[in-house]
Amino acid sequence: MKEGVNVVALVVFVFFFALVTVLGFLAARWRRAADAENLDEWGLGGRSFGTWVTWFLLGGDLYTAYTFVAVPALIYAAGAAGFFAVPYTILVYPLIFTFLPRLWSVSHRHGYVTTSDFVLGRYGSKGLSLAVAVTGILATMPYIALQLVGIQAVLDVMGIGGGESTHWFIRDLPILVAFGVLAAYTYSSGLRAPALIAFVKDTLIYLVIAVAIIYIPIKLGGFDDIFAAAEAKFAATEAPNDGVVPGEAAHWGYATLAFGSALALFMYPHSITATLSSGSREVIRRNTTILPLYSLMLGLLALLGFMAIAAGVRVENGQLAIPQLFENMFPDWFAGVAFAAIGIGALVPAAIMSIAAANLFTRNIYKDFLKPDATPAEETRVSKITSLLVKVGALVFVLGMDKTVAINFQLLGGIWILQTFPAIVAGLFTRWFHRWALLAGWAVGMIYGTVVAYNTSSPKQEHFASSSDAIPLIGEIGYIGLTAFVLNLLVTVVMTVVLRAVKAPEGIDRTTADDYTADAGDPGVQRELPPPTVDARH
């Protein structure tokens, strides 16, 4: 491990950081309409992005700095169980091929900016819409925090900020600067900033992984030696389910976590925001066929965890394993490129996530409950301010709490966001589910998932130690979020049958069948969209 500040790596890192900062501010004028004072322009980039811009934006959105750091870190710590991220990103694309184009169409026909807008229009239930909005904001906050954790991991390895004995302001100054820059260009440019920066981010990540997957194995003697070193490490541990092949007891956990994560990924508000920014439903369909290229990248990225073992990387915090691997193995100048890839990989999703959370608050809390007559310009102003407050909350997570707290809450966020799946995805295909039943199912899933996750423990943590626990009736260890989701569905189905039997009021559906297949150029589908066609009284 190198001592002191890696000056060369730092200079390269600062160069790329400055580059994307300039791009972030220039993006304010990129493809911008004359009338920019509305949420479509600031929060959705004018709903005009084509195939490649959307591909880079979605990739920058879904494959984050935390992905870059945490997936190989899990491989480093637990072995092949960490590869669950690869099959779930493969499973998710056929799934979204079926429903995202329908969401795009109905959203563009009615001017919906968020999934809660759609839920309100589909079910006529402000309570259900609020539940989806609050869940999305809660699930997004710790996710943003983890992007800042990724930047901090890189800064720590480069030797920036000092140790624990250093005054907190000096120690945290670099992350404060990164936060300030992120907040400034997001406020100024909206979604266009991360869309433009995503080109730089993804190019750097592909370059770093391509070099790493060739250069590092050559230095370590080849993949035979890498896997042999990993196998020797895991054989020496007492954990029964680690290793280069998961233990039999881990199979249920691996499968349920992969499947549950696939269902949850495109329920996150930032995923939907990037989707709705595209110019046509065909852009979405094309993207679901080319996004698996990122899964290939993720599989190669995961192998870095085994390489860190073979390279003799020793860190107490597993999140530092991959940055430390780059520091040890690469020349200083290319280590700086790798660190920049991780740092920029944090800025892009953090910006999109803060915009998505702000849109939810503005449209589905502020406008629906506080000021129904808010003008488009006022909506944009409130969303900009909210995006800043969301980032401040994330910064508090990073600076004021143990890093494991943010990680635990991100795992909990995955459990929570999965509970919105029935209301959103089922609603795109059928109106059979009753709005009150969906709300009851959501509440049961949220309560069960939160309580069970809270009660998980480990030698190092008393609560929220894992996202897996025993599956009721089956007894195998599985993903808590998927178990909560099954309970959610059961309650929703039973309650729907009961509520329909007693003829409970169903709410007004403001959508029509052809709304779900409309495309760019069809009547009512245009770039300048009307406000959502939902009566504020319902």
For position 331, which CATH number holds?
1.20.1730.10
| Tens of pLDDT, residues 134-176 | 999 999 988 888 888 788 888 888 887 655 545 555 567 777 8
The one-letter amino acid at 60: G
Do residues 195 and 277 touch, judged by C-beta distance below 8 A? yes
Residue 526 lies in a domain: no
Residue 311 lies in a domain: yes
In DSSP notation, 391-445 reads: HHHHHHHHHHS-HHHHHHHHHHHHHHHHTTHHHHHGGGT-S-S-HHHHHHHHHHH
Residue 172, CA distances (Å) to 7, 59, 342, 354, 425 in order: 18, 29, 18, 21, 42
Cite the DSSP H helix spans in 79-125. Answer: 85-110, 115-123
pLDDT at position 512: 94
pLDDT at position 123: 97
Per cent of the chain over pLDDT 90 is 49
Residue 25 lies in a domain: yes
Cite the DSSP H helix spans in 34-84. Answer: 39-44, 51-62, 65-78
Residue 221 lies in a domain: yes
pLDDT at position 535: 42
Q: Whole-prediction pTM value? A: 0.91
Domain count, the chain: 1
In the chain, which residues have pLDDT < 70? 1-3, 31-37, 161-171, 400-406, 526-538
pLDDT at position 538: 38
Alpha-carbon distance of 50 to 261, in angstroms, equals 27
**Residues spanned by the domain of 88:** 7-31+47-404
pLDDT at position 151: 83
Pairing of strands 477-479, 468-470: antiparallel
Residue 533 lies in a domain: no
pLDDT at position 526: 54
Residue 159 lies in a domain: yes
pLDDT at position 155: 85
pLDDT at position 442: 98
Residue 179 lies in a domain: yes
Alpha-carbon distance of 276 to 154, in angstroms, equals 32
Residue 258 lies in a domain: yes
- Copy the structure tokens of residue 529: 């969209």
